[in-house]
Amino acid sequence: MTSVRVADTRAELAALLATARERCGAPGGADAAQVGLVPTMGALHEGHASLIRLARQRVGDGPVVVSVFVNPLQFGAGEDLDRYPRTLDADLEVCSAAGADLVFAPAVDEVYPSWPVPPQVTVAAGPVAELLEGRTRPGHFGGVLTVVAKLLGLVRPDIAVFGEKDYQQLVLIRQMVADLCLGVEVVGAPTRRDPDGLAMSSRNRYLSLAEREQALTLSRALRAAQERASYGVPAARWAAMSVLRAEPGVEPDYLALTTTGLDELPDYPEPGTEGRVLVAARVGTTRLIDNLPIHFTDDVVGTTFEGDS
């Protein structure tokens, strides 16, 4: 297990990063070490640990920084900001075991000095942010992109690793980095799942045992869509919604089949098309999201399926 250093302030982060860079290679030189960043909101689990390990693999001996910050700017009215789990001591153990070097765990006013007054300059997330999660959580992605931009500016990483479970977030971060020329490689890591298929999430701890069983409906619905993809988008959507509607404890918010860039798909995509199927639903008082890749093969695309009628 490695030893992890903790920075509570920007100044501490800068000092620890400078030391780490000097130890690993001359800054700016041909032998300069790469820096990896894994932004999180804490309450870390094996899914987060897999992101840290991936960052470690990508940067070699270079420093890996994990941020632990519950970002108030991405929570709307009535959301779970106050009860979002804060488990820093346990998070540090996860970071250390997974190979992180530094943890940046700032207070809110260290990230937003004017807080509780919001910052005057924020990132406009664009039209993709108004779809899916954005319809239910207006302003959410502006808050996400603003804090990610700040973290990229503070750490100046070469790579930043994000999980694919928050797929819309990943798409938007990649777009921001490209549009604003931020000079960092954004790496997406596959969703980690428990043995029963439930996508790992910090919010899973809110679920009772019965609710956890109901939550498995989300991944079953996504797999149903995958299995019917060869019949086209309407059939895949019908199959997934049939699974969701069969579980009375699950209240679907949306079920969407899109391109990998979250654009609309035609009903019968060209054979070989890659897409994404995404779902959000409330189980008890907990709102969960999940997604899977979906592939449109060339065997029976366009064939009538009973769910089309």
Q: Is the peptide bond before 85 cis (omega within 30 degrees of 0)?
A: no
How far is residue 140's CA from residue 130's CA, in Å, rounded to a whole number?
9
Look at the block and give the residue holding tokens 């941020």: 67
Residue-wise burial string across 120-150, b where 16 or more C-beta atoms lie within 10 A, e elsewhere: eebbebeebbebbbbeebebbbbbbbbbbbb
Select which of 45, 48, 140, 295 is catalytic. Answer: 48
140 in active site: no
How far is residue 197's CA from residue 277's CA, in Å, rounded to a whole number?
16
Residues contacting 240, CB < 8 A, separation 6+: 221, 222, 224, 225, 255, 277, 279
CB 155 within 8 A of CB 104: yes
Q: What is the set of active-site residues?
A: 48
